[in-house]
Structure 1
Amino acid sequence: MSYKEGCHPIFPYTAQEKQEIRKELGLKESTIQEGMDSILEWFEKQPHLIDAGLPDRDFVERMLLNAKGSIEKAKRRIDNIYKFRYLTPELVQNRENHLDTDIYRFYQQATCPELYNLKRVTVIQITDSDPNSFDLEVLIKTSILLGDIRLKCDYFLGDIWVLDLTNATFGHLLRVNPLIFTKASRLFLDGIGIRLYAGHIIGAPSYAQQLMQFFRKFASPKLADRVVFHDNLEDLYKYVPKKYLPKDYGGDQPSFEYFKEKYLSVLRSEDTKKFVVEVAKQMSDESKRPDASIHDEYLSGSFKKLDLD
């Protein structure tokens, strides 16, 4: 994609924020460059990866940052991403057709263009109270696609998520496919390596306890403890200032409708479509993987606890 560094319309950042993030992680320019060189040298020697073509340095740098500078952890996660793309085409492929559909027909999303303490704040709201309209696979496919863009264009220390369940019902929960949920969670945590600093839930329905019980089946205590339920917006503001929330929640950011139009404009542009389609083709050839089974536990139905660094 032909955006200047830090100038992506959805995920901008400043040169100062970039330096502060590096400082927070204890990474110098020379260390990052050496780490990227090492990872790319390793990649070229992997028989199951090299036919996919070398990843660009922007992607490798983000993976190194998400791994807090650990070269070995970054290698393992890159390998996982390429394997995931091969093993779960239902969540990664056919992106052009996916973007031509009404991807926001049952939910809204707003990612604040300003970093909050070097973290990216994203708000997701379920908009349709009819559970028949809810399609977790659509939400996940869009999130993975956005994740690929972030690994090229964003620069952040971690994520803060706000989930509005005001319009959700128990029927929505019943439509959550545990296997799809687990596959996607493994990609975000074991592949991309997203660091979730906090998850905030507002408008929690009466079945909130069942929801947390469902979540705890997949999450480690460390991750589950970072999820906070709020009875009202005033309580949410104690954790996420209004400055970083859409005006639908009394915040200073534009409305959900503005973000929807912006997202669709960017995602449906020829430049972005070409990028996300090409990225999805960068996958492993599991028939050439040395001394390993392709049946990874997080893709074959084994529900190991999700964990954080």
Structure 2
Amino acid sequence: MTATKVIMSYPWKSRTEVDGSRQGSCLRDEVKAVAKRELREDDMIRRQAIQQFVEWILKNKDLSDCRTDSNFLLRFLRVKKFSLPMAQDMLLKYLNLRQTFSHLLTKLDCFQPAVAELINKGYLFPSPIRDANGRKVVIGVCSSFDPYKYSNVDMAKVHMMTYEALLEDEETQVTGVVHVGDLRGVNMAYVSLWSPAEFATVFKWGEHSLPMRHKEVHLLYVPAPLKYVYDFVRGRLSQKIRDRFTFYATLEEMHTKVDPKTLPKEYGGVIPMADMIEQWKQELLSKRDRLMDLDSMKLLDNSCVMKKDRNNNANKKSDISNVTGSFRRLDVD
């Protein structure tokens, strides 16, 4: 009961997170101020952009059963600061990503046994308490993932399910997400779950295809022997995202940058991790049908997306070769 009082009284708690209803554009005043300042969003721009976006989708013969509700379209418009051409391009990339890696990113069912186990164990979950800037804090506990029991498919589905569910909340679309990862126990078994080519492509495409505002990435207890992998991951991302990575050797050091109140009690917060996980399970359950319905959207022709990707990735083969070499060095180390 105490935890509930803390959650409900926190000033950045979203209306939809409190009452569970789906919102249109009912952002609170403080969130509207962020949207105006950082995204150039106001009522007129939002209405016009959504209308033009819907018209474009309905006329686009390469799209089938694409969502046209404002909640879905706004996540692309907001991450691209209401540049309609860039938002349209990102939507195409998003659908192409889901279809290209359908084994990883579709059928996001929280009832799948392996996925359900990872959620129950707290492999990845958001804190119910937002930080002082209104951002969602997503917590990953790598020790909850057994690389000898679970696959890269299980890993990817949990991540994609988490991000898709978070994007259903418009305040999170505006304020963005902070990532906190406890990497204790990570070893080469985690890395060997992925082929270098697939690992490289998912990371490289993911930043440009998933409409999320990644504000900060805080990594705790990063194993030194895996520095090649983390250098590779950061190297596949834009400089903007790369600059938002921070590494910590101790929990106390991380508390200087991450508000402990947003973390589980086990990490210096006030709400037990089990309570956070249980609340997240209920939220995923309430959004299960909506997440499953994403699979009905289709990109019938991805030639325009792939042409741009080929033009922007002339050195792709060289990049993959370098990654493979790094993975081999890890085996030696």
Q: TM-score range by the shorter chain?
A: 0.7 to 0.9
Query: Which sections of structure 1, spanning at least 5 residues, go unmatched?
Result: none
Report if aligned partners of 2:122, 2:277 keep a CA contact under 8 Å in 1: no
Report if aligned partners of 1:134, 1:172 keep a CA contact under 8 Å in 2: no
Q: What whole-Å deviation, never above 9, does each CA across 1:173-209 have from its counterpart, x for those lacking one?
A: 3333334434443554212232322211111213142
Give the number of aligned pairs.
295
Q: AA paired with 2:72?
A: F
Using the TM superposition, give the Cα deviation of residue 291 of structure 1 relative to its aligned residue in structure 2, in angstroms.
6.1
Output the CA distance in 2 between the equivalents of 1:40 and 1:304.
40
Report if aligned partners of 2:98, 2:105 keep a CA contact under 8 Å in 1: yes
More helix by share: 2
Q: What whole-Å deviation, never above 9, does each CA across 1:124-150 have from its counterpart, x for those lacking one?
A: 011248531353321221222232233
Query: Which sections of structure 2, spanning at least 5 residues, go unmatched?
Result: 1-13, 320-333
Q: TM-score, normalised by structure 2?
A: 0.76
Report if aligned partners of 2:203, 2:237 keep a CA contact under 8 Å in 1: no
1:101 is matched with: 113
**Structure 2 residue matching 1:115: 3-state secondary structure:** coil
**Structure 2 residue matching 1:143: 3-state secondary structure:** helix
1:47 counterpart = 2:64 = no
2:291 is matched with: 276
Report if aligned partners of 2:114, 2:150 keep a CA contact under 8 Å in 1: no
Report if aligned partners of 1:202, 1:230 keep a CA contact under 8 Å in 2: yes
1:213 counterpart = 2:231 = yes
Q: AA paired with 2:123?
A: Q
Measured on the aligned residues, the alpha-carbon RMSD in Å equals 3.3
Q: AA paired with 1:165?
A: L
Using the TM superposition, give the Cα deviation of residue 18 of structure 1 relative to its aligned residue in structure 2, in angstroms.
2.7
Using the TM superposition, give the Cα deviation of residue 304 of structure 1 relative to its aligned residue in structure 2, in angstroms.
9.8
Output the CA distance in 2 between the equivalents of 1:14 and 1:220.
29
Q: Is the deviation greater in 176-185 or in 30-39?
A: 176-185
**Structure 1 residue matching 2:219: 3-state secondary structure:** strand
Output the CA distance in 2 between the equivalents of 1:54 and 1:66.
17
**Structure 1 residue matching 2:298: 3-state secondary structure:** coil
Report if aligned partners of 2:137, 2:177 keep a CA contact under 8 Å in 1: yes
By relative contact order (CA 8 Å, sep 6+), the higher-ranking structure is: 1
1:265 is matched with: 282
Identical pairs, percent: 18
Report if aligned partners of 1:267, 1:273 keep a CA contact under 8 Å in 2: yes
Output the CA distance in 2 between the equivalents of 1:129 and 1:44.
42
**Structure 2 residue matching 1:123: 3-state secondary structure:** strand
Output the CA distance in 2 between the equivalents of 1:122 and 1:59.
21
Output the CA distance in 1 between the equivalents of 2:150 and 2:67.
37
Q: TM-score, normalised by structure 1?
A: 0.81
